[in-house]
Amino acid sequence: MKPFIKWAGGKRWLVSNPCFSVPEYSGRYIEPFLGGGAVYFHLRPRGAILSDVNEKLIEVYLAIRDDWEKVESELRTMQKRHSKEYYYKERSRRRRALHKRAAQFLYLNRTCWNGLYRENLKGEFNVPIGTKNKVLFEDEDFSEISNVLKTADIMACDFSETISKACKGDLVFVDPPYTTAHNVNGFVKYNQKIFSWGDQLRLKASIREAVEKGAKVLLTNADHNSIHELYSDMSGHVSVNRPSVISGVSAARRKTTEALYVFE
């Protein structure tokens, strides 16, 4: 099952990579940086705890899980009305009902430039319109997506709160924010406002605590010396090749690598 949300740093590429495998586990699947949920939808676990710090993103998952038909109906209306003028009106509109806010989020996600999510200082989505006009896809099954999500506890919170719930037998998949062009010394500065070095240190402490309680942790992170040094006392890593898609110009995109760690 494919993710229904396009998200920066998404892991669609990873689940089809031959280097990717999931350790055996008997408990719950826990993901504290949900984003598009590529690994979750790939595994379709029987029980899960899913979270993200982005409350608007989590609202979409809750709306699809609890009332997908209303969300889909609203998206059909948006598909009929889609135009440049409608996009910018919708971008500035404040929706009150949960299913309308979820549909608005998905509409903007699918028709904005490069599927980027960005807010201004007032917390307003400000990405310009993109070139894609599809709001609904023929192979998309919101009913099935809803069924998969019904076995999950979904919440908006800091990653440390979610990872703290891990216990013996659980699998925690951790994919913190980091730039795809991270094989350079500037990657930490690039992410300072999004996910600081202090957050990286907090994350390591949370991972260590989960492992000490008997959980298994699968971590993806920047393939950078500072990250390797940070986890050198816990485990080695595997460098996984992937294409970089952060640039808006295809010629500027290039191959890069990410680091994959398994702690158990």
State yes or no: 197 annotated in a binding site. Answer: no
State yes or no: 68 annotated in a binding site. Answer: no
State yes or no: 132 annotated in a binding site. Answer: no
Contacting residues for 147 by C-beta, under 8 A, at least 6 apart: none
| Domains contained in the chain, CATH given | 12-53+157-263 (3.40.50.150), 61-144 (1.10.1020.10)
pLDDT the model gives residue 180? 42
Contact 105, 59 (CB under 8 A): yes
**What's the rounded Cα separation, in Å, for the pair 94 and 108?**
13
Angle, CA of 67, 70 and 74, to the nearest 5°: 145
C-alpha distances in angstroms, 168 versus 39, 164, 171, 172?
Answer: 21, 12, 9, 11
pLDDT the model gives residue 224? 86
pLDDT the model gives residue 251? 46
Contact 220, 259 (CB under 8 A): yes
State yes or no: 52 annotated in a binding site. Answer: yes
Per-residue pLDDT tens digits of the chain, which is 264 residues long: 899 999 988 899 999 888 788 999 999 999 999 999 999 999 999 999 999 999 999 999 999 999 999 999 999 999 999 999 999 999 999 999 999 999 999 999 999 998 888 888 888 999 999 999 999 999 999 999 999 999 999 999 999 999 999 999 999 999 998 754 444 444 444 455 678 888 999 999 999 999 999 999 999 998 888 899 999 999 889 999 876 554 444 444 557 888 999 999
User: Kind and range of the H or E element at 156?
Assistant: strand 152-156
